[in-house]
Amino acid sequence: MISNDRVYTYSEIDKLIDATCTKLEKFGLLSGEIISIILKNSVEYVLFYLATLRIGCIINPYPYNLESKDAIRYLENVNPKLLFCHKAHYEYMKNSAQNQVILVDDDFLDKLDESEKHADFKPEQKSPACIYYSSGTTGNPKSVVFSHKNMLSNISSICRGFKFNEEETHLIILPMGHTASVNYSFLPCTLLGGTLLITESFWKIRQNFWNLIKKFNITYVEVVPSILVALLHTPYDKKDYSEIEKLKFIGCGSAPLPVELQNKIHQKFDLKVANLYGLSETGPTHVDYPLDEGWKPGSIGKPLDVNQVDIMNENGNMLDHDQVGEIVVKGENVFIGYHGNQEIYDQLVVDGYFHTGDLGYKSKDGIFYFTGRKKDLIIKGGINISPDEIDEIIFKLDEVKEATTVGMEDEYLGEKIFTYIVLKDGKKLNGEKVKSFCKKFLSKEKIPDVVKFVESLPKGPSGKILRREMKN
């Protein structure tokens, strides 16, 4: 592991985890109690995460870029025994949280006592291991509980699906308080014995991104669509991203990925982009592996071997290929509950299938395609319209940096289509040109009724565009 220019061996990390266990046990923790952390990407994050599991407690991480006032709502629901945080959140939490709050300061590592070896906790397979923050897309955030079996089953399947091995060197640039970096890099590399290069965020290393890729022979990096957009608009010298040897493709998840964006990255950097699909409640469910022969951008790939994935209609019947319905998932990766909310869990997990709320279809050869969220659907004049389909077309316009489409209430039609666009620096565009361009690809009922140009789009901590805020 490499963090802040310091290299740690597995043996060193193991001793530091034991020392962190010793520190935690001084608080009188009992097996099964919850420890929350709001820590920046760092070796401290890794130590608290793994030490919590080692002593038989439940880890509850939050993204470091989550605002303190938002974190309080989750903490009230989870009610952890302890909350550890860096100084950016400490003062607010100390005065507002109903829990014991401990500052993790800059000399935390220096104060650890590495003299004792700690015995590993032997969990039951179905006992809770993690409670993950889920921002959701509906404005009703939930706390998702994963068992030890969920974690091991999913991470092992990810390693097989993406052909990860002990030679991996992954670059972490997304918040480790989110599941993306944990599921695709932190835990797979830990399981296989690979190497992690941990950075605080992409925005801190943006100018040096390609130099890090080359210097450390990075084999994989996980991003979100907004980072791909930033890569395209950062004035790198061509030599910065030429002659990259180990990195064969980039993974992108947490938000819908336009095919046009995949193509632009491939054209400029000669790197294919995997379209990664999964949910907080399941972890990754599919493998979109760009190195496969005949691979094409646009799909979310085939299901991982840990789960069964089907397409279901509103009557609960499974659909055949090329029919759009709800994506449902069954398998050992499916979570064991929402903390403190059994009612919602029982509504969404029926006969072992988790109802994702996502729409999609599968092709004859078993490749799945995501078409949008059920709750994002625009119903205009009785016609169901996917906003992602409209955004995909608008993103083809060279002037467009980002776009999102929502339905706004209309007395006559039920809903009208509103599209919000962020332009690239120095570019100009008007609404009529956007509508005219859309007419080349979309039926008339799908053409935006209103086009508005904005400076930025609201995003959550993971970089996902918050459509619900545009509706407000």
Read off the pLDDT of residues 219-260 as tens digits, 9 standing for 90 and up.
Answer: 999 999 989 999 999 999 999 999 999 999 999 998 889 999
Please report the pLDDT score of residue 189 as a whole number. Answer: 98
Mean pLDDT, rounded, of the chain = 93
Q: What is the mean pLDDT of residues 292-306?
A: 96
pLDDT band at 138 (very low <50, low <70, confident <90, very high): very low
Of residues 137 and 165, which shows the higher confidence score? 165
Please report the pLDDT score of residue 256 as a whole number. Answer: 85
Amino acid at 140: N
pTM beyond cutoff 0.85 = yes
Residue 301 backbone phi and psi in degrees, to 5: 85, -160
In this structure, what token pair is assigned to residue 119? 């015995």
405: three-class secondary structure by DSSP: strand
* Predicted confidence (pLDDT) at residue 140 exceeds the cutoff of 60: no
* Predicted confidence (pLDDT) at residue 27 exceeds the cutoff of 70: yes
Q: Give domain 377-471's CATH architecture.
A: 2-Layer Sandwich (3.30)
Residue pLDDT, tens place only, 197-210 = 999 999 999 999 99
Q: C-alpha dihedral over 7, 8, 9, 10, to 10 degrees? A: -140
| Contact of 79 with 99, CB cutoff 8 Å | yes
Residue pLDDT, tens place only, 161-183 = 999 999 999 999 999 998 999 99
Give the side-chain half-sphere CA count within 13 A for 345.
17
Give the side-chain half-sphere CA count within 13 A for 287.
21
DSSP letter string, 295-323? --TTS-BEE-TTEEEEEE-TTSPBP-TT-
Enumerate the domain spans of the chain.
2-368, 377-471
Same fold for the domain at 2-368 and the one at 377-471?
no
Which residue, among 395, 394, 437, 447, has the nearest Cα to 416 in the 3D structure?
Answer: 447
Please report the pLDDT score of residue 384 as a whole number. Answer: 82
CA distance 353 to 341: 18
CA distance 441 to 258: 15
For residue 249, give the H/E element and its range.
Answer: strand 249-252
Length of the chain measured in residues: 472
Q: What is the mean pLDDT of residues 286-297?
A: 96
Which DSSP category does 4 fall into?
T
Please report the pLDDT score of residue 196 as a whole number. Answer: 98
For residue 116, give the H/E element and its range.
Answer: none
Q: Domain 2-368: which topology?
A: Rossmann fold (3.40.50)
Percentage of the chain lying above the pLDDT 70 cut = 99
* Predicted confidence (pLDDT) at residue 457 exceeds the cutoff of 80: yes
* Predicted confidence (pLDDT) at residue 2 exceeds the cutoff of 80: yes
